[in-house]
Amino acid sequence: MEVFQGKAIFGGIAIGPISFFAKEEKQVKRVKIEDTQAEVERYEAAKETAMEELGGLYEKALKEVGESGAQIFEVHQMMLEDDDYNDSVKNIIVSQSVNAEYAVATTGDNFSTMFAGMDDEYFQARAVDIKDISERVINVLMGIGHAKISDEPSIIVAEDLAPSETVQMDKSKLLGFVTRLGSSNSHTAILARTMNIPALIQVDIKEEWNGKMAVIDGFSGEFYIEPEPEVLEEYRVKKAEQEERRRLLAEQRGKATVTKSGKAIKLFANIGSVSDLPSALENDAGGIGLFRSEFLYLESDTYPTEEEQFKAYRMVAETMAGKKVIIRTLDIGADKQVGYFNLDKEENPAMGLRAIRICLTRPEIFKTQLRAILRASAFGNIAVMYPMIISVEEVRKIKAIMEEVKKELDEAGISYGEVEQGIMIETPASVIISDLLAQEVDFFSIGTNDLTQYTLAIDRQNAKLDEFYNSHHEAVLRMIEMVVDNAHKAGIWAGICGELGADVTLTERFMAMGIDELSVSPTFVYPVRQKIREYDGETK
């Protein structure tokens, strides 16, 4: 028996044979081409095929993991349509009279190297995406299919896995996966968590493991190769206990989310699009605490109309049947780029023109969205919240725009409901002035993902900084408590919609702080509810 230590990215136990996932080795050769125009057309055809493949992956991911997990394939499509990328490929074909495979490989290497060498972590991360889309086009040009996993249920071991490779795998055959590379905040890691797959990264893998029995301990990060009989039996018992716990959690359906001392907590779900609604309902969410409206913009080739947005918001409101639906206004920018917005390239997009800053500098886009939200509020219990707030002045400008929209609807005789207005607390600035902001809004929703990385000055997606990244950092937890205290002093409620909300090791502390609401990925509703119902301590 051998035991290897890795970094766990999703808890759980996986037991089964190893299937070593090796990508097909290929060598891209430089070939002299006479008819360069025909070669350009060959490239264009391959690119279209790759675009169709990405579209298929998006649809598959949408069904299996929801909008938030599927968005990476939209990003890849946009990158593949980038003018600079395509111009480079065509220029190499024509100017050097070479084959399309060589032109794509050269462009991919050049762009990837360029991005990897940038100071900004966001653009460094795009280097991997460039390699992925270039590899896809080359595979189409060379007629190479996708690597297959075992026909039998198995644990996948690989050097690394791209999001596309993870999604293409048959979930019924994927017991878990272990990779040598990867970051706990990578797109693949997020997919693993969404798909409930036990997974480890940063393990020194060996191809000779192929076919051997193994165990993944997604809690301790240990990976057992050919475990001793007693160890194997121990983990079979643990796995059975885990499955029984999941069954018991399912029995909580319909039970109140209330502490033993009697405090009721709002336990809502985060969703990335209308397609995530079934999961929220299946997991018995008390409402929608974060509806990411930007999916409407990411899925469109142009600005979505008021009517298109209205229909989506209305559907969610009606489906939730009176339960609260909190719609976050447009959060484009940073890692969510949309070509038709024509945003300038920025040295630090995470702190650039994004979210509410776009809305306030392009009020016509903002007003269209607010009109759609208000109209939909006549059909359900809708609230709205604004991301990336840093000042009282911003909130007052937003409220003034909202009043303009209400006046327009009144003049047109269009009805709308009472819509609570809240803000996301995800910047240190908003935390510090939360006492002032609380006087302006109806609620706070704390976005712990951005709040943590801005507070710690650490890019969560940079694997090199994993040892420094601490989501339980006392500074972050004190900030959360400060926000809750200031909210309550002003008579408004405060919740958490970031990933920390689903961290059951912090649930008791959040209860002690007096948090009023937690909004989590749908699959985390049951375990968080159980933890809340077990809490018998004091609450503020």
- Give the catalytic positions in this structure: 187, 497
Q: Which two tokens stand for residue 245?
A: 């716990």
Q: Which two tokens stand for residue 395?
A: 């909130």
* Phi, psi angle pair for 312, to nearest 5°: -65, -45
Q: Which amino acid is at 85?
A: Y
CA angle in degrees (0–180, nearest 5) for 272-177-525: 35
For the chain, report the end-to-end CA distance as a whole number of angstroms: 50
Q: Which two tokens stand for residue 223?
A: 């990976």
3-class DSSP state of 98: strand
419, 384 in Cβ contact below 8 A? Answer: yes
Rounded Cα distance, 117 and 125, in Å: 10
In the DSSP assignment, the letter for residue 200 is E
> Closest Cα to residue 283, out of 296, 270, 295?
270
Residues with Cβ < 8 Å from 80, sequence gap 6 or more? 47, 50, 51, 54, 133, 137
Per-residue buried b or exposed e for 55-79, using 16+ beta carbons within 10 Å of the residue's own CB: eebbeebbeebbbbbbbbbbbbbbb
If DSSP states are collapsed to H, E and C, what string results for 172-199? CCEEEEEECCCCCCCHHHHHHHHCCCCE
Q: Which amino acid is at 70?
A: A
Per-residue buried b or exposed e for 107-125, using 16+ beta carbons within 10 Å of the residue's own CB: bbeebbeebeeeebbbbbb
3-class DSSP state of 419: coil
Rounded Cα distance, 475 and 478, in Å: 5
Q: Which two tokens stand for residue 363?
A: 């009020």
Residues with Cβ < 8 Å from 514, sequence gap 6 or more? 484, 485, 488, 539, 540
Rounded Cα distance, 113 and 48, in Å: 25
Question: What are the distances in angstroms from CA 222 to CA 21, 92, 163, 204, 373?
Answer: 20, 47, 23, 12, 48
